[in-house]
């Protein structure tokens, strides 16, 4: 007689892996006799359990400058099955949505350690989300997944960046020399792609930057309220004529460890304003002009200077306060300062006319200088006596040297040409005149060539000569 041993309910090796059964057989006698049989049943494993992760989501951190191969975190999964069905291998599937992040990491298929495969950059991506798969090695393998979140810890590997925005009227690196103290030159924005945490060197630090300005020579400074945006402002008067350009350097240093810095350099041009009057390099100038000069003859080139650039100086002659007729003799080119004759000049009218020249650059101030023109005379006039006949009486006993009269002649020329010399002329008397009349001085008289005084040269004798007709010649000193 045979009996079958049947399974009454589902078996689970992972719950009970074996059974030890006692089978009894009884006969129908009185008293019945029995036999016993021990049966050991071992439950064979089948791959009916998938791997189970120790947690549904894992979190890890890694420095962005970590070297390749650096282990980051370990995931673990267990499988209740035995044998190959209980052996778990790990992998990082390359899903389209996570292919960018998963390409940075690898996983040890046996240990579950996730390690760095490619260099990281915090500024490009801070959080990497991965899916890790655990799969058993049994026939018709089973698998399960878990999420991994890896946060990249920033390190100070980026220099600060500086952005300049010029706040001048032209929006260029230039400012007028009459800028007021406090006027704005530029706005500086500081940015650092590193995270704030990486810029904190200790718990007491703030997240700002150290910004410095050099090359300002005390004329500019930095102002800020938040250590991120800075303003360059004017702090002292500017003078283009003293310094026309400043080379400014702005340096920004972050507070990371180690601190990194960057600099930007720009030239700030100082624009000219008309704040300097023109000037002559002398208050008096001299020129010489021939009396025979034609109208339009160049007399003198006046030259005024101005420290301002691109200044346009105009010249003029001040004739309003001059009562001299010579003021109409000259003209000046307003642009070049060249003085020329406008009409014929006359030394006899005025031998050294004075011209007042004014230079103006368009501002409220001007400069003046005097030009003294010496007219070179042409000897075109002869001396003229005050009288055509002089009469004098002298006693015969007057001593030698006595001056009896003075003749005077004038010459309308000027300079040397106007100086007169006097001489006595010797002429023969007419035959009809009596001998007592002398038409020559016969050295009885002499004349002072400069003063024109006629004086006795030797003793006189009435009985010998009682009348003298003495011609006097006036000669100028011209050529």
Q: Which of 43-52, 80-89, 288-297, 341-350 has the lowest mean pLDDT?
A: 43-52
Model-wide pTM > 0.95: no
pLDDT of amino acid 429:
58
Mean of pLDDT values over 134-151: 91
C-beta of residue 264 within 8 angstroms of C-beta of residue 301:
no
pLDDT of amino acid 170:
92
pLDDT of amino acid 48:
79
pLDDT of amino acid 16:
82
**Who has greater pLDDT, 285 or 347?**
285
Mean of pLDDT values over 159-172: 90
Q: Which of 127-131, 292-296, 348-352 has the lowest mean pLDDT?
A: 348-352
pLDDT of amino acid 279:
94
Mean of pLDDT values over 3-27: 79
Mean of pLDDT values over 30-46: 82
Mean of pLDDT values over 47-63: 90
pLDDT of amino acid 437:
45
Give the whole-angstrom CA distance, residue 464 versus residue 430.
18
Is the pLDDT at 236 greater than 50? The verdict is: yes
Percent share of the chain, pLDDT over 90: 51
**DSSP letters spanning 77-110:** EE-SS-GGGG-EEEE----GGGHHHHTTEEE-TT
**Helix (H) and strand (E) counts in the chain:** 1, 37
Per-residue pLDDT tens digits for 198-227: 444 443 344 568 899 999 999 999 998 887
C-beta of residue 109 within 8 angstroms of C-beta of residue 90:
yes
Q: Where does the pLDDT of residue 121 fall: very low under 50, low under 70, confident under 90, or very high at 90 and above?
A: confident
Give whole-number Cα distances, 477 to 148, 206, 452, in Å: 123, 98, 15
Spatial CA neighbour of 360 closest among 319, 312, 327:
312
Mean of pLDDT values over 82-104: 82
C-beta of residue 406 within 8 angstroms of C-beta of residue 417:
no
Per-residue pLDDT tens digits for 263-282: 999 999 999 888 889 999 99
Whole-number mean pLDDT of the chain? 86
Spatial CA neighbour of 312 closest among 272, 269, 283:
272
Q: Where does the pLDDT of residue 433 fall: very low under 50, low under 70, confident under 90, or very high at 90 and above?
A: low
Give whole-number Cα distances, 225 to 17, 42, 143, 322, in Å: 75, 81, 58, 65
Give the whole-angstrom CA distance, residue 107 versus residue 116.
9
Q: Where does the pLDDT of residue 477 fall: very low under 50, low under 70, confident under 90, or very high at 90 and above?
A: confident
Per-residue pLDDT tens digits for 291-347: 889 999 999 999 999 988 878 999 999 877 666 677 789 999 999 999 999 999 988
pLDDT of amino acid 179:
94
């Amino acid at each position: 007689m045979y009996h079958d041993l049947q399974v009454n309910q589902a078996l689970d090796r992972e719950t009970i892996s074996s059974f030890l059964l006692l089978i009894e057989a009884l006969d129908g006698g009185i008293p019945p006799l029995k036999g016993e049989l021990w049966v050991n049943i071992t439950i064979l494993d089948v791959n009916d359990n998938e791997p189970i992760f120790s947690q549904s989501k894992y979190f890890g951190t890694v420095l962005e400058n970590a070297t390749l191969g650096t282990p980051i975190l370990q995931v673990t999964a267990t499988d209740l099955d035995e044998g190959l069905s209980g052996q778990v291998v790990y992998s990082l599937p390359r899903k389209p949505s996570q292919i960018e992040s998963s390409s940075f990491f690898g996983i040890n298929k046996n240990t579950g350690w996730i390690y760095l495969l490619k260099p990281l950059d915090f500024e490009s991506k801070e959080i990497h989300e991965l899916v890790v798969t655990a799969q058993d090695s049994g026939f018709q393998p089973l698998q399960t997944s878990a999420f991994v979140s890896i946060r990249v810890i920033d390190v100070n590997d980026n220099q600060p960046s500086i952005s300049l925005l010029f706040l001048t009227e032209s929006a260029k690196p230039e400012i007028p020399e009459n800028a007021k103290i406090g006027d704005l030159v530029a706005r500086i924005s500081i940015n650092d792609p590193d995270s704030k945490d990486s810029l904190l060197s200790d718990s007491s630090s703030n997240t700002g930057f150290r910004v410095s300005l050099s090359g300002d020579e005390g004329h500019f400074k930095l102002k800020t309220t938040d250590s991120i945006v800075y303003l360059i402002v004017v702090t002292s008067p500017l003078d283009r004529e003293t310094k026309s350009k400043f080379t400014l350097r702005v340096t920004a240093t972050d507070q990371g460890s180690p601190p990194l810095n960057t600099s930007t350099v720009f030239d700030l041009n100082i624009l000219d304003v008309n704040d300097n009057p023109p000037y002559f390099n002398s208050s008096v100038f001299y020129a010489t002009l021939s009396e025979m000069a034609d109208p339009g003859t160049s007399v003198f080139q006046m030259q005024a200077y101005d420290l301002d650039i691109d200044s346009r100086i105009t010249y003029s002659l001040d004739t309003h306060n001059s009562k001299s007729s010579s003021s109409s003799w000259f003209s000046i080119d307003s642009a070049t300062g060249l003085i020329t004759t406008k009409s014929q000049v006359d030394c006899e009218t005025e031998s050294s006319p004075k011209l007042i020249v004014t230079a103006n650059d368009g501002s409220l101030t001007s400069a003046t200088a005097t030009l003294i023109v010496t007219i070179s005379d042409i000897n075109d006039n002869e001396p003229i006596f005050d009288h055509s006949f002089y009469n004098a009486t002298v006693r015969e006993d007057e001593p030698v040297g006595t001056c009896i009269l003075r003749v005077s002649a004038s010459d309308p020329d000027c300079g040397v040409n106007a100086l007169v010399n006097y001489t006595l002329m010797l002429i023969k008397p007419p035959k009809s005149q009596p001998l007592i009349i002398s038409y020559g001085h016969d050295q009885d008289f002499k004349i002072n060539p400069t003063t024109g005084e006629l004086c006795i040269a030797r003793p006189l004798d009435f009985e010998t000569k009682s009348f003298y007709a003495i011609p006097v010649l006036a000669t100028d000193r011209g050529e």
